[in-house]
Structure 1
Amino acid sequence: MCASYSPRAFVQVFSLQNPSFRCKITEGTPGLVMALWSPDSRHILTVGILHVQLSIWSLANESVQYVHYLKKGSPGLEFSPDGEYLALLEQRANKEYVLILNSCTWAPVLRFECCDIWDVAGLAWCPDGSGLCTWSAPPSEGLQVHWLSGQTSQQVLSPEREVPETLGVRCVAWSPTSQFLAFGANDSQVHLINTITWHPIAKFPHQHHITTQRCTVYEEPLTLTKSSRTEYAVIESRPTRVAPVVEPRPALGLRFAAVPMQQGTKRLTFCPSGAWIASQDDSCPCVLWIWAIPTLQLHSVLVQRQAITDAQWSPTGDATLVTCTSSRHVSFWSPRGGALLLPSHLSDVSQVAWHPKGTCLLLKGAGEGSLHMFS
């Protein structure tokens, strides 16, 4: 387990089997913007705030390798699903490239230019590792799929469109079977693309009024218990409004915060089975929409009292979704069991991570060094 401390520009590594083991990696004085494990758990990758280089630290022989020309201001750094390759965004002489590295030797395998989209904002691997997609930063709406085999790239969205339809891509997610490619846009909709025909098959709007009885609306109760689980309230009346407001911390002395100025789909994630997709929109940061892919219908809506800061599906395939809102409670949702909240030992859970086997959760608090194992 590794924990990065951005202001102090170092990473600490801990061993769950050997609590006395300690390792500290120092990046430099400016600070860290990213730290992640390699798939073989023998290397830790770090990127500084200045985006000057990617540092690859070996825990086996205590060596370090560097990769230069990272695209500034972009988190474009993704391992392939099988862990064999690392893809990252480069910027050389005002041109943008995708560089593919071998994750064992860290030697370059492939480099291709992103010539049909402008200002690349991110990349995402296809689940079978045969290719990856890149997309432009808003307001441009370029979205392109590149294949490692060398075949012609697939243009899903063109930045040269005279009348923009999506107002820019915010986030992208592949279905686990690679059958669908979904992207969230600044038009506050989730767009679902069939990867066989590359035609859109559905649009999921983040509506503020729920009118259908086929959708279950769960609302966080006003009062929560500190020692036991709390069931969500089910709103049965229709139509019901999902208010685009966030209840701030009590210390602010206000009951409701103003409606966010930013708008667009900010979070998008498929469950491991591909049957469900969860999304979050800037217009309602305290609301999570859950869609059923087989029916292409809205199935559930979770309404929290505070803005949702993280949402993660269980890796076991049982469609359990956990969310947190910088409070001491962690919420769980499943299509069979409904929604409930459980208290944790942290006062402000801001991020969650599942164990690969789905047996427990790692909770991160807003305070420096606040980590807790939750089972």
Structure 2
Amino acid sequence: MTRALVGPTHPSESASVTVTAQETMDFTELYKHSGSLVSFSPGAHFVLNAVHDRVIIRKTDSFQISRTWVIDPTPSESATLLNKQASKAIRSSTDSRNNSISHAAWSSDSEYVLAASVKGGFVQVFKLRDEGWTARIDCGVEGLVKAVWAPDARTILCFSDWGLRVTMWSLVTGTASYIQFPIFLDKGFDFHADGRYFVLAERHKSKDMLGLYDASESYKLVRRFPSQTSSLASLALSPTGNHIAVWEGPLEYKLHIMTLAGNLLASFSPDPEPVLGIREVAWHPSGMFLAVAGWDDKVHIIDSLSWSPVTTFELSSRISSEVAIWREPSKWLEATEGRGFLSYEKLRGPQTITLNKIDHTKANPKSGAIQLEWNQTGSLLLVRYETTPTAAHLYLFPSPNEAFVPRLRSVLLHSKTILQAHWNPVRKGSLALCCGNRSIYTWSDEWEGESGEQEEMAECIGVPAKEFDTRNMSWSRDGKGLILLDKETFCCAFEVEEVTTLN
């Protein structure tokens, strides 16, 4: 964002001074990580990263190490008993596979950190304000597949192997609650906006069910009701917490909207129904709309009043001149030696983009939307189509006082496949992308032009490191920093404002 202030340096002087404030990006050094386990704390004051069996906490202002913990390598008793070879059980304390951390995460209040070992079958918890405090959860004979924090920051959810159950461990009481037969190990659950209710996709007597549990009452069952699906793919709770969207597996394009009481409000299926089912579903931040996409390169926008489509976006190789088209400059990394900023090329007039040919004879064809993500206010929808893996489509949604005519606003074209793209969690018009090379890419509509009006800008930003390819990225909660991940190393990027004065 650039702005210029022009005026006399002194009332008696005729000379002018131009003060220009420009946002730049400051990068940290490279640090090691394992398993891509790197995250900002919710308050953005610390950065957590795991390296094999070690958890490291750094301060974001200086990146000095604040805490270091090593997990207890002893596997749970159940994991030891289930080990078929006694010699392996004896050596398990030094086996790097059992020592490695598979999951690491902050509690929502930044007070605690969990570090889980799937191979060892345990979760260890550390306290940021007390380096000597620790707690350990042994997951038993059912094993461990995933461990996550509940919104209350004092309960840990452990998903067992084979879909046997979900265990809720309380750090306050030291007790556990159990829910049997979850359908999925890595999805199919969500919390109400206030964190009180927990919704879980379950399978009972070969039928898909939804369970609603009261998290404030030790996850007591409130009600259980059919999901109206024959083969549940996943669920998504609306931001308001009033509605649940559930949809079928990949062989049937059908979505159902239900209340928390289990009442079916509506069902949606396009006409004619596509050959394959739904890939992505995303609620609007206000809960007013629901974006639904499958393998047919169409995105349906459903409103919450009629629960029917109000508009449909369809991928096209032809882009009109009314759309802002930004293209990554050719060989810009070599020209800039990977340092500094460089604007995208803005293409004029209608353009044609390449669409990959789709082989419908193969399972899971490379087509359809692989990402739907709304910005912070819901005025923009990011869509990435697998048919055009190097392009990012940004669709504009009008404000409530404008005529409702959503449209394609901008397209960002790159030389390599986009691996990750995420909106800034605070700024409504700020997007960051990465393509697996020594750079990151940004788009923003908050730039101030010469006329004083805001306009959009797309930039390529080199990462000043000799060997670093940005394969993954995530924003800090305050939207001021980015974590950039390569296979074994990571760095952080922070926006800084430089002020220059020209006489």
TM-score clears 0.5? yes
Structure 1 segments unaligned to the other structure (5+ residues): 246-259
Q: Which moved more, 1:17-26 or 1:50-59?
A: 17-26
Alpha-carbon distance in 2 for matches of 1:289, 1:84: 36
Q: Which amino acid aligns with 1:154?
A: L
Match of 1:119 in 2: 231
Residue 235 of structure 2 aligns to a residue whose secondary structure is strand
Match of 1:43 in 2: 155
Match of 1:356 in 2: 477
Q: Quickly say closer, same or farther: Cα 1:359–1:212, change in 2 above 3 A.
A: same
Matched, 1:201 2:310: yes
Q: Quickly say closer, same or farther: Cα 1:108–1:344, change in 2 above 3 A.
A: farther
Match of 2:408 in 1: 298
Q: Is the 8 A contact 1:118 1:140 kept in 2?
A: no
Alpha-carbon distance in 2 for matches of 1:300, 1:131: 31
Residue 240 of structure 2 aligns to a residue whose secondary structure is coil
Match of 1:231 in 2: 342
Match of 2:387 in 1: 283
Structure 2 segments unaligned to the other structure (5+ residues): 1-105, 107-113, 357-363, 399-404, 448-456, 495-503
Q: How far does the alpha carbon of each residue in 1:274-307 deviate from its partner, in whole angstroms, 9 at most, with x for none?
A: 1000011121222211100114111111223333
Residue 336 of structure 1 aligns to a residue whose secondary structure is strand
Match of 2:266 in 1: 155
Match of 2:166 in 1: 54
Matched, 1:70 2:187: no
Alpha-carbon distance in 1 for matches of 2:332, 2:490: 25
Q: Quickly say closer, same or farther: Cα 1:204–1:99, change in 2 above 3 A.
A: same
Displacement after TM superposition at 1:349 (Å): 3.6
2:206 to 89, 94, 118: 94
Q: Which amino acid aligns with 1:243?
A: T
Q: Quickly say closer, same or farther: Cα 1:334–1:36, change in 2 above 3 A.
A: farther
Match of 2:215 in 1: 103
Displacement after TM superposition at 1:90 (Å): 0.2
Q: Quickly say closer, same or farther: Cα 1:97–1:30, change in 2 above 3 A.
A: closer
Q: Is the 8 A contact 1:206 1:289 kept in 2?
A: no
Q: Quickly say closer, same or farther: Cα 1:38–1:175, change in 2 above 3 A.
A: same
Q: Is the 8 A contact 1:69 1:92 kept in 2?
A: yes
Structure number with larger C-alpha Rg: 2
Residue 50 of structure 1 aligns to a residue whose secondary structure is helix
Residue 208 of structure 2 aligns to a residue whose secondary structure is strand
Q: Quickly say closer, same or farther: Cα 1:16–1:304, change in 2 above 3 A.
A: farther
Match of 1:269 in 2: 373
Match of 1:251 in 2: none
Q: Quickly say closer, same or farther: Cα 1:31–1:285, change in 2 above 3 A.
A: farther
Q: Quickly say closer, same or farther: Cα 1:67–1:149, change in 2 above 3 A.
A: closer
Q: Which amino acid aligns with 2:339?
A: S
Matched, 1:347 2:457: no
2:327 to 203, 206, 218: 218
Q: Which moved more, 1:134-143 or 1:7-16?
A: 7-16
Q: Quickly say closer, same or farther: Cα 1:374–1:167, change in 2 above 3 A.
A: same
Q: Which amino acid aligns with 1:233?
A: Y
Q: Quickly say closer, same or farther: Cα 1:75–1:354, change in 2 above 3 A.
A: same
Q: Is the 8 A contact 2:268 2:308 kept in 1?
A: no
Displacement after TM superposition at 1:108 (Å): 1.6
Residue 243 of structure 1 aligns to a residue whose secondary structure is coil
Alpha-carbon distance in 2 for matches of 1:332, 1:31: 42
Instruction: Name the structure, 1 or 2, with higher relative contact order (CA <8 Å, separation 6+).
Output: 2
Calculate percent identity across the aligned residue pairs. Answer: 26
Counterpart mapping for 1:135-150 below 5 A: 135-149=247-261
Displacement after TM superposition at 1:195 (Å): 1.4
Q: Is the 8 A contact 1:218 1:300 kept in 2?
A: no
Matched, 1:241 2:352: yes
Q: Is the 8 A contact 1:74 1:121 kept in 2?
A: no
Alpha-carbon distance in 2 for matches of 1:132, 1:78: 10
Q: Quickly say closer, same or farther: Cα 1:71–1:373, change in 2 above 3 A.
A: same
Q: How far does the alpha carbon of each residue in 1:22-57 deviate from its partner, in whole angstroms, 9 at most, with x for none?
A: 666665799865433211222232334533322333
Displacement after TM superposition at 1:354 (Å): 2.7
